[in-house]
Amino acid sequence: MQHARRLWIKAPAATLEPSYAGGIVITGSTISELIPAGASPSSPVDEVFDAAEHVLLPGLINAHHHFYQTLTRAFPAALNKELFPWLKSLYPVWAELSQEMVEVSTQIALAELLLSGCTTASDHHYLFPRGLEEAIDIQMAQAERLGVRVHLTRGSMSLGEDDGGLPPQKTVQEEEVILADSERLIKRYHQSDDGAMRRVALAPCSPFSVSEALMKASAGLAEQYGVRLHTHLAETHDETEFCQQMFGLRPVDYLEKVGWLNNKVWLAHGIHFNDEEIQRLGRNGVGICHCPSSNMLLASGQCPTLDLEAAGSPVGLGVDGSASNDCSNMIQEVRQALLLQRLRYGASKITHQKVLDWATRGSAACLGRDDIGTIAPGKQADFALFRLDALRFAGAGDPLAALVLCGADQADRMMVAGEWRVKDGEVAGLDLKRLMARQRELAAQLAATV
């Protein structure tokens, strides 16, 4: 039997933890040894990568996104609006998505994520117009092609305008269709083992686009198959008002009523909670994905991150869709989290280490994993290496702080499960120029449909 290749990432310029200042050894797809400063691996290695010019981070984990929205960045009709009117401008456009649009926009979003140091990506896709019933299958194929670890959620919308919901009727699906497809996707793609490259979760879109019955049925199906649940919650005051009018409940009470107040659930945004609700979410271990850029762009508000954490909720980070960000850059999102959260909690509590922890260990916890998100023996070999030789770093002191404060925007190298997926700032196996040209054509086609 051939032995697994041993690679030493030697003595990085800086690391998130001092325990591996001398680097890490990768054996096959996992991390096998942490090297203290000035030391060498305990047994011979096959290859050495000299990281003296690189800052080493655990791979960043994006806990909330909508890949398809890369086709509607800075969309003219949606500019300068808050969530509900923004959605109403975009729903009719998104209803015209084609298979190729999903394929290309997924590649674009994943390439952008990979290049920003992201090794695990979650996506929330909830549009399945006629001909696009296999949108998640298309995303799975692209993720496999680029070698990124994914948690793809089977999103859904079932409450259209005719029934008091926000989305146009033509964008919603029958509940039996949604549940049958959810089951199909879990059976076909979900890997429950340690080191899984692809997982499936169920994700009814939001209280204002899904019926109470579908929320309950999705929870039942998730429980049956041991998969996680995800949705948007407490994003805006409009949503709170909607819940009070439609269900006679605030969003967290509604969540509890439909059987979602537990540690198998992670929520996107989580902004408008009162103190009692924060305690209840924390006690039940509900995860919160903070999406700072989107929250600022749509003027939604500030997530009470530290209060949620103190109450017991895992807190992770997400870029949210590229129509409300309008990019998919995880290391930039780390900086946004630091800036926004400092306004709420002050500079001494929101450190660069804190926001990097949210983007790694915190996001992993939201996704229900502990085999990724940290650098430790036995964990998956998912990490990113950033150089500090761009103009924006000239004169920087602390290299780790510089990544966040000077605004790093691109990883030089990136490994997922022991395989290089980004080398010298390029995504392996992707002709980015050609891809971007096609994305531009498709975005123009999509815009012309309305």
How near is the Cβ of 442 to Zn ion at its closest, in Å? 21
Report the C-alpha gap between 435 and 229 in whole angstroms: 32
* Alpha carbon distance, N-terminus to C-terminus of the chain: 60
Closest to Zn ion by CB, 147 vs 362, is: 362
The angle formed by the CA atoms of residues 319, 321 and 326, to the nearest 5 degrees, is 80
Sheet of strand 287-290, all strands in order from the earlier edge strand to the far edge: 60-62, 118-125, 149-156, 198-204, 228-233, 265-269, 287-290, 315-317
How near is the Cβ of 3 to Zn ion at its closest, in Å? 44
How near is the Cβ of 31 to Zn ion at its closest, in Å? 32
**Helix, coil or strand: residue 321:** coil
How near is the Cβ of 413 to Zn ion at its closest, in Å? 29
How near is the Cβ of 289 to Zn ion at its closest, in Å? 9
Report the C-alpha gap between 240 and 38 in whole angstroms: 55
Closest to Zn ion by CB, 300 vs 380, is: 300
How near is the Cβ of 268 to Zn ion at its closest, in Å? 5
Closest to Zn ion by CB, 205 vs 381, is: 205
How near is the Cβ of 163 to Zn ion at its closest, in Å? 22
Closest to Zn ion by CB, 14 vs 288, is: 288
Q: Is 131 left (phi over 0), alpha (psi -120 to 50) or beta?
A: left
Q: Which of 110, 108, 134 is nearest to 123 (CA)?
A: 110
If one asks whether residue 112 binds Zn ion (CB under 5 A), the answer comes out as no
How near is the Cβ of 113 to Zn ion at its closest, in Å? 15
Q: Determine the size of the site formed for Zn ion (CB under 5 A).
A: 2
How near is the Cβ of 432 to Zn ion at its closest, in Å? 25
Q: How do 228-233 and 198-204 pair as beta strands?
A: parallel
- The amino acid present at 163, given as its one-letter code, is D
How near is the Cβ of 320 to Zn ion at its closest, in Å? 5
Closest to Zn ion by CB, 196 vs 268, is: 268
Closest to Zn ion by CB, 51 vs 319, is: 319
User: Do the Cβ atoms of 202 and 154 come closer than 8 Å?
Assistant: yes
Distance of CA 268 to the CA centre of its chain: 10
Closest to Zn ion by CB, 320 vs 326, is: 320
Report the C-alpha gap between 258 and 217 in whole angstroms: 9
Q: How do 30-35 and 287-290 pair as beta strands?
A: unpaired
User: Do the Cβ atoms of 321 and 369 come closer than 8 Å?
Assistant: no
Q: How do 419-423 and 413-416 pair as beta strands?
A: antiparallel
- Interaction with Zn ion in 250-289: which residues (CB under 5 A)? 268
Six token digits for residue 148:
């990124």
Q: Which helix (H) or strand (E) holds 275?
A: helix 275-283
Q: How do 413-416 and 265-269 pair as beta strands?
A: unpaired
Closest to Zn ion by CB, 65 vs 421, is: 65
Residues whose CB falls within 8 Å of the CB of residue 74, separated by 6 or more in sequence, listed in order: 326
DSSP 35-51: E-TT---SS--SEEEE-
How near is the Cβ of 124 to Zn ion at its closest, in Å? 6
- Interaction with Zn ion in 119-138: which residues (CB under 5 A)? none
Report the C-alpha gap between 142 and 46 in whole angstroms: 31
Closest to Zn ion by CB, 277 vs 320, is: 320
Report the C-alpha gap between 372 and 368 in whole angstroms: 10
Write each residue from 311 to 340 as x if it is in contact with Zn ion (CB under 5 A), else as -, in one continuous string.
---------x--------------------
Please list the residues that pair with 316 across neighbouring strands: 289
Report the C-alpha gap between 418 and 185 in whole angstroms: 27
Closest to Zn ion by CB, 30 vs 322, is: 322
Closest to Zn ion by CB, 217 vs 268, is: 268
- Interaction with Zn ion in 45-104: which residues (CB under 5 A)? none
Measured from each CB, the residue nearest to Zn ion is 320
Residues in contact with Zn ion by the rule CB under 5 A = 268, 320
